[in-house]
Amino acid sequence: MFLRNEGARLNAQSKRGRRRRLFAAGAMVLLTVGLAACSADVGAVVPELPKQHDGPLPQAMTEQLDAALAQAIAWSASSGAIAGVWAPWGGEWTSAQGVSTVGGSTPLSRDMHFRSAAGDRPMVCTVMLELADAGTLSVSDPVAKYLPDQPGLEGITLGQLCQGTAGLADYRAQFQAQFVNNPTREWSGIELISGGLAAARTEPGTTWQDSATAIGVLGLALTAASGQSWSELYDDYIFTPLGLSETSVPVGDDLTIASPAPHGYAAAVNADGSRDCAVMHDETKLSPSLSGVTGGVVSTLDELKHWSQVLAEGSLLSKRSADAQLATISLGGDSPTWKGYGLGVQTLGPLVGHDGEISGFLTAAYTDPQTGFTVVVMLNNSTAGKGFAQQLAMQLASIASKAPAAGGASAPVLELPWSAEQATAALQAAAVCQPAPAG
């Protein structure tokens, strides 16, 4: 493996003083800058968060969490879900409920792989910041510097693409029916972003907007700036440093998910954009190209948890870049003030992370960088939209954040500006494809 700019990247990371590596017993790593090949990294970046108590959360609390997850499976028309909550001072809860296929009998397990849309955007923006730390680019660089032949990018910076302030419309609405109804179709990155670039836009730097177009443009710009493909960028800057051996990004015509894995589902989309719950498509085989050049990352519960904690703590970045990533702006409109957006990350009160949607799967992963409290969820039906996964994560977090201290630890004050009841009501309001009332 040839690690581009590795010396500069490791130097920037070492300056933080927060990066640590766990090495296998007796193993030693020798990294010589300038060699065209190197041995496999046997360690993993570990965030310096409070130590996790080795034990379960109290039984009454786990029963609440189990019931909440079961209800979310029903409200989202999923066949199953995988979730976990880790409260370092009080214990952990993990659960894999339901079955891997609609009408099937194979139970879900916590080691199963799934398409982790919640990780994609934060990973892309973290790669951008690592490239900035290495001196390859600057967050304030104009996008046109790297994509000079692409019209419509005037006045937009790389950082604005990450923060959602580039003013570019989101292409997903116009392609949603094709994504769901024909999931194996291959798309080019230019084809996807062209729809967003042609639509009405706002002045760069003025308002926040959730835009897959912006991330698609950023993906193209970073490949141009680095000279690397996205599979190489993910491997060099995310997967290998973190030791994520079960996390990958499909490339080319790879439509599958590594085994074991549940199937993913989505209700058909009609011409008017409405959902046809009578036609539930199996989205398990899916072209990674519909996520743009950055692909659709595949991961597991444990590895998405590890990524979430590293993201929140900023373990891969210089202090300057980590601080910049968490410098949030308001979402505007009716969004509560405790919701913000940084460079590819959402903040929900003290929690840092992201939710995500890709045909067949909904995911969310959030961590409090002060206490280490972490919540991760996956549902195998994307019909309800990614906001459903976020609300489920908020519901589980509200329940588990009240865990008492165990093993002589002290319980921190973790104040979440929402209640489990509020999240439950939001989940019920977002329920999709529900059976008709009896009678």
Q: How far apart are CA 57 and CA 153, in angstroms?
A: 50
3-state helix, strand, coil in the chain (%, to 5): 35, 15, 50
Q: How far apart are CA 308 and CA 372, in angstroms?
A: 10
Please, are residues 35 and 340 in contact by the beta-carbon 8 Å criterion? no
Q: State the pTM of this model.
A: 0.91
Confidence check: pLDDT of 14 > 70: no
Architecture category of domain 6-48+57-407+414-429 in CATH: 3-Layer(aba) Sandwich (3.40)
Q: Please state the domain extents for the chain.
A: 6-48+57-407+414-429
Confidence check: pLDDT of 257 > 60: yes
User: Phi and psi (nearest 5°) for 267?
Assistant: -70, 145
Asked if the peptide bond before residue 437 counts as cis, ω within 30 degrees of 0, the response is no
- Our measurement of the distance from residue 88's CA atom to the centroid of its chain's CA atoms, rounded to an integer in Å, reads 22
Nearest to 301 by CA among 364, 373, 235: 364
pLDDT at 42: 36
Helix (H) or strand (E) holding 215: helix 212-226
pLDDT at 108: 98
Please, are residues 340 and 328 in contact by the beta-carbon 8 Å criterion? yes
Please, are residues 358 and 379 in contact by the beta-carbon 8 Å criterion? no
Q: How far apart are CA 43 and CA 243, in angstroms?
A: 6
Q: What is the pLDDT of residues 317-374, one digit of tens each?
A: 999 999 999 999 999 999 999 999 999 999 999 999 999 999 999 999 999 999 999 9
Q: What is the pLDDT of residues 191-231, one digit of tens each?
A: 999 989 999 999 999 999 999 999 999 999 999 999 999 99
Contacts of 226 (CB under 8 A, 6+ apart): 4, 131, 136, 233
Please, are residues 158 and 176 in contact by the beta-carbon 8 Å criterion? no
Q: Extract the tokens encoding 231.
A: 């599979």
Count helices and strands (H / E) in the chain: 13, 14
Alpha helices in 41-171 (DSSP H): 59-75, 117-133, 158-163
Helix (H) or strand (E) holding 193: helix 189-198
Please, are residues 412 and 404 in contact by the beta-carbon 8 Å criterion? no
